[in-house]
Amino acid sequence: MIDTRASSVTALEQSLEERGSTDITTLKDLSKSRKVLVLIILCSALFLDTFNNSSLFAAIPPIALELDIPDSQSVWLLGAYQLTFAALLLVSGRVSDLYNPKWVFVIGAAMMGVFALVAGFIRTKIPLIVLRALMGAGGALTIPSAQHLIVHMYPDPEEQAKAIAIFGGMGGIGIVIGLIIGALFVSFVSWPWVFYFSSIVSAVITLSIFILVPNVSRQSRNDESTSQSKRFKRLDLIGVGLFTAALILFIFAVTTGSVEGWRLAKVIAPLIISALLMAMFFIWEAYLPEWYAALPPKIWRYDNVVILTAISLVPFMWWGSIFPLFSWVWEVVYGWSAIKTAVHFLPVALGIFPALPLAAILQSKIRLKWVILLGFTLLLTGTILLPFGNSESRYWRFVFPGFLLGTAGAAIIYATTNIALLANTPPDVSGIVSAVFVSVLQTGGATGLAIVTSIQTSVEVKHGGPRGFEGRAAGLWFLVAFIGLMMCFFIVFMKSKPVGGTMADEEVISPIEDVEKKATSS
């Protein structure tokens, strides 16, 4: 459905070559076997990012016990990583688009490895939380740069769609595998091995990309100092600073509010300030000349980009909510071991495997709107089953099929939306587009968990208590309502395009190229 984009990509390659850029030509000309190997390594980076969070579900209890971390603070072992990861994505995306994405990735992966290794030796809470935040900063550098490399390594629309689908699927798989590996380490070794394992994988990823990916040059034929100066201006430090500060404050507020309550000044003030900063960010981006803007307003004018970005809230909100909702009751109320709990989450990973190739195949056969609508239908059906899984005996009747259907639907939405956003926007802004997409995913995960936790806590005060299922059922029904609402918005606002065409009828051209053409003609 995105075949007609090939001529635009070719024109863009020629334009970039005229200016001395060699990144597309170098990456796309790698041998097939080398491309596959690089793709596997890049997918491993996304796996590691999700592993770094899900593996702590089993590790947090022993960490909190050994380091004397209260429940109200232990949440920051997860929150610190998510906060810096989400907040720095736009910076990472902008740097990946303007400079060498290979080195952005290598630096990020190396940071994750070094800080994870140090974290394994730390036995005090504040330094450990700080190191988790630094690991998140490293993770933020890897994802937009990885997708930038994938987009330029596979310029053919069909190959690119398959590669992006595979890459995206590793996120969901990493959540479940991370939970199992974390449980194994906690049960048979010790919790520091969660960090040692992350460090070892980071080292392998860093060295592999350093060796396998050619050095990407972006030097212009014009005066090098002038080119470097213009490139630095296009980083848009004010814009990305506003965006970063807004996300940091927002995630801090929703994380704190879910644990300590929403009426506190330290929750309300950051929420208000984050909203103001985000408004200032969009005003600033509209004010800047488009070739200097980190997120050019023209990007939002491509067909369906706004609605696709909005529905990106859904997948991680679902994945990020179901694990804490079920894991606590299974371990504390049912008395299951960490390993038994992790095994019962396996359907979440199993549902992803058929969903990813299905999404890649369907998007080239039928209209994109119907593919994503299928994902919503599966996700909504699976989520409706989950509130009825209120006892051990109901796992196979309700929870197991709910996990399978729900995760398949979330995977289809996730993969297809990612493919569509990258296909509908120019390759030379793929880093920024990827950064916005992942930022929305992370925001959805943090916001959903905060809301679901708050609903659960408020219901438990009057019904069932923390050992009951009533509060968790109420949180799950919120997910049903939210997914249904987003599904309705999608049906109304998503423009359906014919199979074999681009999502937008207009020419797919970079906002930067567009402005430069206008400047030249004038």
Q: Looking at the structure, tell me whether residues 309 and 209 fall in a common domain.
A: no
Contact 422, 430 (CB under 8 A): yes
What is the identity of the amino acid at 297? P
Whether residue 223 is contained in a domain is answered as no
Q: Looking at the structure, tell me whether residues 360 and 426 fall in a common domain.
A: yes
Whether residue 1 is contained in a domain is answered as no
Whether residue 49 is contained in a domain is answered as yes
Q: SS3 sequence, 436-478?
A: HHHHHHHHHHHHHHHHHHHHHHHHHHHCCCCCCCHHHHHHHHH
Contact 380, 315 (CB under 8 A): no
Q: How far, CA to CA in Å, does 25 sit from each of 214, 216, 222, 229, 248?
A: 11, 10, 20, 25, 37
Among 158, 187, 216, identify where a domain stops: 216
Whether residue 22 is contained in a domain is answered as no
For 226-247, letters b (16+ CB in 10 Å) and e give ebeeeeeebbbeebbbbbbbbb
d(C-alpha 338, C-alpha 71), whole Å:
18
Q: Looking at the structure, tell me whether residues 309 and 289 fall in a common domain.
A: no
Among 182, 216, 250, identify where a domain stops: 216
Cα Rg of the chain, angstroms: 22
Q: SS3 sequence, 8-72?
A: HHHHHHHHHHHCCCCHHHHHHCCCHHHHHHHHHHHHHHHHHHHHHHHCHHHHHHHHHHHHCCCHH
Which tokens in the block code for residue 172?
A: 């969901």
Contact 154, 160 (CB under 8 A): yes
- Domain of residue 404, CATH code: 1.20.1250.20
Whether residue 105 is contained in a domain is answered as yes
Q: Looking at the structure, tell me whether residues 347 and 468 fall in a common domain.
A: yes
Q: Looking at the structure, tell me whether residues 212 and 241 fall in a common domain.
A: no
Domain coverage including residue 285: 236-293
Amino acid 217: pLDDT: 59
Whether residue 520 is contained in a domain is answered as no
Q: Looking at the structure, tell me whether residues 410 and 261 fall in a common domain.
A: no
Please return the burial class of 224, using the count of CB atoms within 10 Å of its CB with bins 0-12, 13-18 and 19+.
exposed
pLDDT tens, per residue, the chain with 522 residues: 444 333 433 333 344 333 334 444 477 778 888 999 999 999 998 889 888 988 887 888 888 888 888 766 777 888 788 888 888 888 888 888 788 889 999 999 999 999 999 999 998 888 999 999 999 999 999 988 998 888 888 888 778 878 887 887 787 778 778 888 988 998 889 899 999 999 999 999 999 999 988 876 555 444 444 466 666 667 788 888 888 889 888 888 887 887 777 888 988 999 999 999 999 999 998 888 877 787 888 888 887 889 999 999 999 899 888 888 888 888 888 888 888 888 898 898 888 878 877 877 787 788 888 999 999 999 999 999 999 998 999 999 999 999 999 999 998 998 888 888 877 777 777 777 877 888 888 888 888 888 888 888 888 888 777 788 898 999 999 999 999 999 999 999 998 765 444 444 444 444 444 444 444 444
> In this structure, is the dihedral angle defined by the CA atoms of residues 258, 264, 266 and 269, taken in order, positive or negative?
positive
Q: Looking at the structure, tell me whether residues 351 and 475 fall in a common domain.
A: yes
d(C-alpha 437, C-alpha 413), whole Å:
12
Length of the chain: 522
Whether residue 222 is contained in a domain is answered as no
Amino acid 93: pLDDT: 82
d(C-alpha 328, C-alpha 326), whole Å:
6
Read off the DSSP letter of residue 3: G
112-149 residue pLDDT tens: 999 999 999 998 888 999 999 999 999 999 988 998 88
Q: Looking at the structure, tell me whether residues 196 and 252 fall in a common domain.
A: no
Q: Looking at the structure, tell me whether residues 77 and 183 fall in a common domain.
A: yes
Q: Looking at the structure, tell me whether residues 164 and 139 fall in a common domain.
A: yes
Q: How far, CA to CA in Å, does 488 sit from each of 119, 307, 413?
A: 44, 11, 14
Among 293, 318, 342, identify where a domain stops: 293
Q: Looking at the structure, tell me whether residues 316 and 410 fall in a common domain.
A: yes
Whether residue 367 is contained in a domain is answered as yes
93 Cβ contact list (under 8 Å, min separation 6): 144, 148, 431, 432, 433, 434, 435, 436
Q: What is the total count of domains within the chain?
A: 3
Q: Looking at the structure, tell me whether residues 317 and 267 fall in a common domain.
A: no
d(C-alpha 2, C-alpha 502), whole Å:
5
What is the identity of the amino acid at 88? L
Q: What are the backbone angles phi and psi of residue 290, rounded to the nearest 5°?
A: -60, -30
